[in-house]
Structure 1
């Protein structure tokens, strides 16, 4: 009798999620289901067109199962051994990540967060205290336009456990190692998985890129290299990156001096748009809080001066507010703010949203 393969659910069908589902499917070690919402009909009809620097090209590709909602994925193909979440993490959006995945989380489910940012693990653990939680950092440079997936970097996954109370270290690491085995290809030139006992340093290293290049390109509407042509490296990118390094140090995470130079030059000559710029161009909400808001709370708590990051954060919050109003997520009626001091406008908006 054949051994049943572990069941893996991928929630998030963007550039990162599609590549994760592809890797898991190609390896043949897991039964893979992916949730595809807006493009569900097109994916079921034509699949994805994939152009990858390491995996090669595929036409009409899809994983073993495709579901239009998390609820249908669970009812039709669950329960799942692993739930891989690759959506944007936007706690100020219409739904939190915890709410999104709840229908597919059972007692047996190991949750794998393959997402950007700092502080994303605490609310997830608070919502699902009995489940093992793993943290993943995927370095791939993948974009999705319609059902066309394009990537420019080798698939690299950094995987680690979170502080999983109630589970032994051996139990948690067995889940880490099992998922690593499911994900990695036999050929290390195709993809690469690195298991870490603690990924805090790796997460802060990626934040050096995301909190600076990703955010500033989103604000300017330009790709990284055009910003650099205008002189951003010396007067904007490097000083802002040093602020991230200083905040990390205040949290006991000492980053190597070379990380700023590495991240600043990682895309030399590629003229690509980082993910946050892509999101804004699509009129989609951005990961403002997990990439800048949470780190700046650490800075305030620890007395770290971060003027560039603070300015970028406030400007992005303004753009996020505009997007929410355009999408109908919030309504700003001028009469609701009459008689109020403008210093009190943010609190007034919160009061109105609670009604």
Structure 2
């Protein structure tokens, strides 16, 4: 029996360690898409300093590809497509567009190892005949110019985004469970990583969101690390109240987050003076995962009439920061002649003329 064929899209800190975990297990054939640094990785491989896998030099998975299309042509079709890229639906390319070249009629399983809420909906709409699974990653791993620094054990929670009875589901419950178990079997390396079935993965997503939508968003907005915000009284003034808002939004859709998560996250970085990924992206003038981390929760809150006095202010402010980054990247060039009327009409004009 042939081994499952796995495509990993995204070669950053999470994607590289995911490809390493799959390769180390030996139960699958692994192809990794490396875009901007393909020549570097193809020639020299990754250098990896991992808290569990140790120090590796010149490491590569079974196959490398410059693009998803090349991966499909040379090494496909795939049984599993693992997407680890940033999810920026307001950017130049959506996740559905990134994945599309690898999707055939073979009923590939698509796993979104990404941040955010409601990220599965556009993927399921685009590929309704495929099983789309949720992967929540808890890992400390960063990538820069061929080097991966992995300081936290790779822990993955894997489940179905929206499990339903077999008669209602795009794939039977038994089939989904079998696919989840198979992927766990080819990913898990005892003593090196942790991956487990999560029957309530939406709750896990909301609880991780309590950190991302608060610490990521606030640090990116004010350009300060977490502890520097806390020095200025942010715990009581902003952080705890904002997390309470996320819990209330989750509750409005039937998800009850554990209250203890608040204090866990408030103190998880004590003494580290750590800058979360969204803050780092802002400093590097890269697009941030704003819409899936905060935009979608705010839209849910509005739909269910949940008050968001803090997050509802942070979201439009950070949208302006994202707007500035897009302008600097020349994603659009404003023609001031388009905006001569009432400023109340400006958002509509922008959507009609500049949103692609």
Q: TM-score, normalised by structure 1?
A: 0.96
Partner in structure 2 of residue 346 of structure 1: 347
For 1:190-209, what aligned pairs fall within 5 Å after superposition? Answer: 190-209=192-211
- Residue 214 of structure 1 deviates from its aligned partner by 0.8
Distance 1:53 1:236 in 2: 33
1:176 matches 2:143: no
Quote the RMSD (CA, aligned, Å).
1.3
Give the match for residue 82 of structure 2: 84
CA distance in 2, matches of 1:113, 1:94: 19
The aligned residue for residue 279 of structure 1 is: 281
Aligned to 2:71: 73
Within 5 A, what are the aligned runs for 1:39-50?
Answer: 39-50=37-48
Query: After the TM superposition, which residues 133-144 of structure 1 pair with which residues of structure 2 at under 5 Å, given as runs?
Result: 133-144=132-143
C-alpha distance in 2, partners of 1:221/1:182?
40
CA distance in 2, matches of 1:107, 1:198: 29
CA distance in 2, matches of 1:233, 1:134: 34
Per the alignment, in what secondary structure is the counterpart of residue 314 of structure 2? helix
Which segments of 5 or more consecutive residues in structure 2 lack a partner in the other structure? 164-168
Q: Distance in 1 between matches of 2:70 and 2:354?
A: 31
The TM-score normalised by the length of structure 2 is 0.95
Q: Deviation per CA, 1:41-96, whole angstroms, max 9, x where unpaired?
A: 11111111111222212111121111001000000000000000011111111111
Residue 18 (structure 2) aligns with:
20
Cα distance in 1 for residues equivalent to 2:210 and 2:36 = 32
Out of 98, 101, 104, the residue aligned to residue 99 of structure 2 is 101
What is the rounded CA distance, in whole Å, between the counterparts of 2:310 and 2:55 in structure 1?
Answer: 41
- Residue in 2 that maps onto 1:146: 145
Distance 1:30 1:326 in 2: 42
Please state if 1:111 is matched with 2:110. yes
Q: Deviations over 1:127-186 (max 9, x none)?
A: 000111111001002111221211222110000013473311111110001011111113
Residues of 2 paired with 1:271 and 1:155: CA distance?
22
In the other structure, the counterpart of 1:129 is 128
Specify whether residues 31 and 120 from structure 1 end up closer, same or farther in structure 2 by C-alpha distance, changes over 3 A only: same
Contact 2:131–2:170 (CA under 8 A) maintained in structure 1: no
Distance (Å, rounded) in 2 between the aligned partners of 1:201 and 1:220: 29
- 8 A Cα contact 2:161 2:202, kept in partner: no
**132-141 vs 260-269, greater mean Cα deviation:** 260-269
Q: Matched residues in 2 for 1:347 and 1:146: separation?
A: 40
- Give the secondary structure class of the aligned counterpart of 1:270: coil
Q: CA deviation at 1:354?
A: 5.8
For 1:307, what is the secondary structure of its paired residue?
A: coil
Check 1:166–1:304 CA distance in 2 against 1; reply closer, same or farther (3 A cut).
Answer: closer
The separation in 1 between residues aligned to 2:144 and 2:281, in whole angstroms, is 11
Q: Choose which of 224, 227, 231 in structure 2 pairs with 1:229.
A: 231
Supply the distance in 2 between the matched residues of 1:21 and 1:269 (Cα, whole angstroms): 32
Which ranges of 4 or more aligned residues in structure 1 deviate by more than 3 Å? none
Per-residue deviation, residues 111-139 of structure 1 (Å, max 9, x unmatched):
00001000001110000001111110010
SS in 2 for 1:167: coil
Greater alpha carbon shift after TM alignment, 52-61 vs 286-295: 52-61
SS in 2 for 1:192: strand
1:314 match: 316
- Between the aligned partners of 1:354 and 1:316, the Cα distance in structure 2 is 18
Between stretches 166-175 and 202-211, larger displacement belongs to 166-175
Match of 2:217 in 1: 215
Residue of structure 1 in register with 2:5 after alignment: 7
Give unpaired runs (5+ residues) of structure 1: none
Indicate the SS of the match to 1:311.
helix
